[in-house]
Amino acid sequence: MMKKSLRAFTLIELLVVIAIIAILAAILFPVFAQAKAAAKKTAALSMSKQQGTATAIYETDSEDTFPTGWGKSDAGFEDSLAVQYVPADWPAGHSGVNAINLQISRGSALNVTFPYSKNYDILNPPGMTPIKINSWLSTAAYTPGSQDKINSLAYNGLLHAYSASAVAAPSQLPMYTETEGNLALDGLDTGPNPVPYCYGTNISCRYVPVAEGGSCSGNGSYDYYIYPNASQWIYGQAEIWVFADTSAKARKLGMNIGGKSDFKTDPYTKYKANGVDSSTGWYDSSYCHSILFRPDFDFSIWPTSPYAGY
């Protein structure tokens, strides 16, 4: 009886197989990465939309008024730039926690809308990098079992207690954005961003419009961007924005026009190669308010000389 001979792969055949596998991997890996990024973006859109819907329900129960971006102390003191906790009372009793900040946190947009969303987790979509800021909170505050919540949606501070019916272009006005980049704060409010200057006792601060060429010096008449020094390119070259009509969309950032971004679509003036903001933002010609976030702006008559400022 003749024995059947078994033939092994030659070295050349083995190398050919390895080369084919490498080529297929080079083709498929980017496809898998794109599919993963698309899935994250879809989930983020859904979660952000839920927060927009919760805010709309809040408005209905609050006489057609947007949520506050910050609260007041028991004595009526107001500071729009104060650190706010999410939830408002989670770090109470720990060292490094300021009682005034606890009281102001009760008015954070993320906290006042919670009774309508009933879920802080929708504020933390996939693709973010959670960070703890121990300069504002002691390490002891972050103990196992604490109720700190991670969030990455920044509320448009110019909408603080603003009339919803007074918004000029609801489908174009940002209500929540991811302008803090791919960072998600643990237990602290990511926003407001931008935030108007409001400081004092019993001031009832609101957004104050300023005409082109006008001046701004009082509460509510000018605002700041909070620059995170983090990549704004979260899903490809885009991030999620929720608009005043509760629609949620991916906003592509970083279009280059003569070395700067397009002030008609972008909050920040330019970006580094990795999508990190340049710490300068687009303001109106008077250098008072951020262009894209003004509630009374109709998105048709643009500033003649947009200002790139801090």
- Determine what percent of the chain is predicted with pLDDT higher than 70: 90
Determine the average pLDDT of the residues in 211-239: 91
Distance between CA 147 and CA 272 in Å, rounded?
36
**What pLDDT, on the 0 to 100 scale, is given for residue 2?**
54
- Cβ atoms within 10 A of the Cβ of 206, count? 16
Per-residue pLDDT tens digits for 89-121 = 888 887 778 899 999 999 999 999 999 999 999
Average pLDDT over residues 29-40: 72
Between 258 and 79, the higher pLDDT residue: 79
| Burial state string for 231-252 with b = 16 or more CB within 10 A and e = fewer than 16 | bbbbbebbbbbbbbebbbebbe
Q: What is the pLDDT of residue 87?
A: 94
The confidence score (pLDDT) of residue 176 equals 98
How much is the average pLDDT of 9-16? Answer: 78
Q: Which domain holds residue 155?
A: 15-309
Tally of domains in the chain: 1
Is position 97 within any domain? yes
In a domain, 44, yes or no: yes
Residue 228: half-sphere exposure toward Cβ, Cα within 13 Å: 26
Whether 190 is covered by a domain: the verdict is yes
For residue 8, being part of any structural domain is answered with no
**pLDDT bucket at 284, cuts 50 / 70 / 90:** very high
DSSP state of 218: S
Structural element, H or E, at residue 307: strand 307-309
261, part of any domain: yes
Let me know if residue 9 belongs to a domain.
no
Q: Is 173 domain-assigned?
A: yes
In a domain, 147, yes or no: yes
Between 278 and 62, name the one with better pLDDT: 62
